[in-house]
Chains A and B, each alone.
Chain A
Amino acid sequence: MTQQKRSRVREYLSGMARPLGETALAIAIGLVGGAVIMLIWKYDPLHAYIALFKGAFGGVDEIASTLSMATPLILTALTFLIGVKAGLFIIGAEGQVYLGTVGAVAASLFVLPPGVHLLVALLFSMVVGALWSLPVAILKVTRGVHEVISCIMMNWIAVWLTRYMVNYPLVDPARSEKTITVAPTSRFPILIPRTELTLAIAVSIVAAIVIYYFLWHTSLGYQFRAVGLNPEASRYAGINQLRIIILSLVMGGMTAGLAGATQVVGRPPTWALYGTLANIMNLGFNGLAVAMIGRTHPIGSIFAAIFFGGLYTGARQMQVPGPSPSLPYIEQLGEVVRGTAGAGVTIELIGAVQGVIVLAVAVPGALDMLRKYLRRRRGR
């Protein structure tokens, strides 16, 4: 028995070696691609990448900032990957995030004791996120509407509905560009003072672990995966596919809603939603990229989100002016490593470099999905 267990562990690890190797290769290709872009515009890629790493993981504050960036992305990645596992292509996280945020802010209209208030805010965001996914589920189940189409439509409705909520019912009477600040009783505790990192990160990580457990260790999760991999065989085995479609969309809506909540009750210093939606924009769509980087695995998503978060927090340090070119190269590097100099890369170019890296790193995960999708279409 123990020997069997040991061999199973070994098998599991060797099964992980290939995806990890592929992802490492993809990261290397992405970095080289980004370096080429920077060389074309005459920036020093070595400086830039050292600055990027320094800005993302160079100290406690930087790490805190990276983790706080990762917090909502883990959750929106979960939305997408739950769908992928059940055979759906859910791109509705964006709109569900918006409305989840609204739900969490709306919880501050009530007066409740601390802790309980936070739970209520989270519950609101999840319920609203789930409700926002229901039309997609109902259209799919009753009329066969493809989820991509209805998700896009629901996302646009969400944009304007949220703008309305921010500008009218939930507006801050003193500062009309944002909503009311959420009640202190509904806020996550700050983990590291003077940083954006709150206990919300724990919620994201626990959610990822719960989803992992659900998918691989419960009978319902088994049914999700069976339907996702072979809907026909699942039907023959008597699995109710309509139920799986509805449940996967609802679960995805819940994690996306939760992602929205973390941006208002779990992220200082704003504790509110801006009318431009700037502080929640693209979290849902970036979740797709994170899920693919994490090879559509819940635990992988945690690391992918941290990678993604680092890429964005590190950008600040990349913009800091580079060391004087008159210094010997080794001393230039020393300055960058110490953080007294950056790489002086313009923000627009940083966007391009980030894009290239994300694209490259998402390729293995995207190929996984494509292969599974084609196999499904061929019915194998």
Chain B
Amino acid sequence: MEAASAVAMKGIEKIYPDGTQALRGVDFFLEKGQIHGLLGENGAGKTTLAKILSGLLPLTAGEIHLNGRRVRFAGPWEALRKGIGMVHQHFALVRPLTAIQNILLGQEGGGPLSRLEVKDAEKQVTEIMKQSGLNVPLDVRVELLPIGVQQRVEILKLLYRRAAILILDEPTSALTPVEVDALFEMLRQFKREGKTVVFITHKLREVMDITDKITVLRQGKVAGVLSTAEATPEKLAELMVGMKSLPAETRSEKPFGKTVLSVDGLRVRNDIGGFAAKDLTFQVRSGEIFGIAGVEGNGQTELMQALAGVRKIDKGKVTIDGKDTAGLGPRELFKMGLAFVPEDRRRLGLVMDFSVAENSILGMEDERKYLGRLRQLLWGKIFEYTRRLIQRFGILTPSETTPAKYLSGGNQQKLVVGRELNKEPSILLVAQPTRGLDVAATHFIRDLLIKMRDEGKAILLVSADLDEVMQISDTIAVIYQGTFMRVAPARELDRRTIGLLMGGVMPT
């Protein structure tokens, strides 16, 4: 098995400068002409391993052999010269440049002052497109292309550079089901051409669908290597999560209470003037988790921003406990009982250079209870409050004065969620609450939301993680291009139906 390997990575260890050990002795063998799935939870070390293979990260210990010869990469350009290329989860495209300019970037040839010659390259790229079945409009600026097409530009970039081993990091995370099918067709074509593909994902059905062989990583170690033919989703899940079963879905047992958040005919514009949300109408009742499923970029972000008071409402009416919220900002909405966990905790939920204590009062810093007579901050009281917060939500931090940037992602999220829940809101908006978190933190956050629901809070959840929406929501709405394809009690919707609706297809 080892002899036939195109790539053999042996005993790979990686310790990041901050001391995190991402990989603890991983062996990874890649056979030529296969699609190899690299499966694992968030934080299992998949991306780190891929980045080492593509020359982006130096390894701490271990060896890489390519076609039987030991190699060392000083950077991604060296890996690419040997035919290994990676498509990252977040694309490395220059948005205002056209597709062909992006493909040529760094390979323009000629001197610094010579004209960019695209004619020959265009011919070559067209040839590659014909062969591989990848179709991309070459003269269109990349920022105007849908995500799925941008991804194809990334792949074309690698093919143009003659990559024979393609590493795709979570390539389906932002794609619609239709786009996923197209991608898979492409990958099969690569295989027929004798190219090798590493397919990184945490989605079970995808590895079952497309791969020949699967390596499962768990907490920086190989949890198992098996051929897809002998794998079952249950077996993979067990290897991946290290648990017997996937968590059961939970539904509220009590009937819902009164309507807390009512949205009527809401229309919201996006940043470039189009409509992000068109005529949305729904209610969230106390004791209910209202989950919005959908591929990212279908208006969820703008909807949440509008409800949280940071984006203008174009048309429509929003009420909280029957009171109109028109024209109110985040601070007034907080006083009406609204709390908001934004989708990007690092950018929107926290001030990373602020301490845990400072972050724990963000948005409440002018509340009476923290202020003295001169409107000075009573740090003693704030520290006390922070310690209670730390305790109640199990936030792991050296102290309350540690800057938030030194906390792990899970603890940062606990801090944000804890702060918002401590506002004792009647309606809680939660966007992507478990993105990038490990299994334990994910469970913790979801359990917390369920507990809050059982205590009678109304929760509006937006998540790109379909499993999450299905697991904890009582009511599910599927959003597609700014409108709800369907709103129904969770038990009436199955995964297949939601998947189709997310892609804009009405199931028959």
CB distance from A5 to the nearest CB of B (A): 9
Q: Which of B331-374 contact A (CB under 8 A)?
A: 331-334, 340, 342, 346-354, 358, 361-363, 365-366, 370-371, 374
Residue in chain B with minimal CB distance to A231: B351
CB distance from B114 to the nearest CB of A (A): 32
Q: How far is the CA of A225 from the CA of B359 in the complex (A)?
A: 12
Residue in chain B with minimal CB distance to A227: B351
Whether a CB of chain A sits under 8 angstroms from the CB of B270 is no
CB distance from A62 to the nearest CB of B (A): 39
Interface size on B, residues (CB 8 A): 36
Interface of A is mostly: helix
Whether a CB of chain A sits under 8 angstroms from the CB of B375 is yes
Given A11-B399, A232-B348, A372-B353: A218 touches B375 (CB 8 Å cut-off): yes
A380 touches B346 (CB 8 A): yes
Choose one: B334, B377, B405; the contact of A222 (CB below 8 Å). Answer: B377
The residues of A that contact B350 with a CB separation of less than 8 Å are 230, 233
Q: How far is the CA of A222 from the CA of B348 in the complex (A)?
A: 17
A236 touches B310 (CB 8 A): yes
Residue in chain A with minimal CB distance to B398: A11
The residues of A that contact B309 with a CB separation of less than 8 Å are 238
Proximity bits, A211-236, B CB within 8 Å = 1, else 0: 00100011110110110011011111
Residue in chain B with minimal CB distance to A216: B377
B351 touches A236 (CB 8 A): no
A229 touches B354 (CB 8 A): yes
Given A229-B353, A238-B329: A217 touches B379 (CB 8 Å cut-off): yes
B347 touches A237 (CB 8 A): no
CB distance from A251 to the nearest CB of B (A): 15
Q: How far is the CA of A379 from the CA of B347 in the complex (A)?
A: 6
Interface size on A, residues (CB 8 A): 27
CB distance from B197 to the nearest CB of A (A): 31
Q: Which of B389-403 contact A (CB under 8 A)?
A: 399, 401
B358 touches A236 (CB 8 A): no
Q: How far is the CA of A229 from the CA of B403 in the complex (A)?
A: 12
The residues of B that contact A7 with a CB separation of less than 8 Å are 399
CB distance from A217 to the nearest CB of B (A): 5
Whether a CB of chain B sits under 8 angstroms from the CB of A375 is yes
Q: How far is the CA of A293 from the CA of B341 in the complex (A)?
A: 39
Q: How far is the CA of A8 from the CA of B401 in the complex (A)?
A: 8
Q: How far is the CA of A372 from the CA of B403 in the complex (A)?
A: 14
Q: How far is the CA of A380 from the CA of B349 in the complex (A)?
A: 10
Q: How far is the CA of A223 from the CA of B363 in the complex (A)?
A: 9
Residue in chain A with minimal CB distance to B361: A222
CB distance from B162 to the nearest CB of A (A): 33
The residues of B that contact A235 with a CB separation of less than 8 Å are 310, 330
The residues of A that contact B376 with a CB separation of less than 8 Å are 213, 217-218
The residues of B that contact A234 with a CB separation of less than 8 Å are 351
A233 touches B348 (CB 8 A): yes
The residues of A that contact B100 with a CB separation of less than 8 Å are none
B401 touches A11 (CB 8 A): yes
* A-B contacts, 20 listed (Cβ < 8 Å): A11-B401, A217-B377, A218-B377, A219-B365, A219-B370, A219-B371, A223-B365, A229-B351, A230-B347, A232-B347, A233-B347, A235-B310, A236-B330, A236-B340, A240-B329, A375-B352, A375-B353, A379-B347, A380-B346, A380-B405
Residues on B facing A (Cβ under 8 Å): 308-310, 329-334, 340, 342, 346-354, 358, 361-363, 365-366, 370-371, 374-377, 379, 399, 401, 405
16 further A-B pairs in the complex, CB-CB below 8 A; given A219-B365, A219-B375, A375-B353: A218-B376, A218-B377, A222-B358, A222-B365, A223-B365, A225-B354, A226-B351, A229-B352, A232-B347, A232-B348, A235-B310, A236-B330, A236-B363, A237-B363, A380-B352, A380-B405
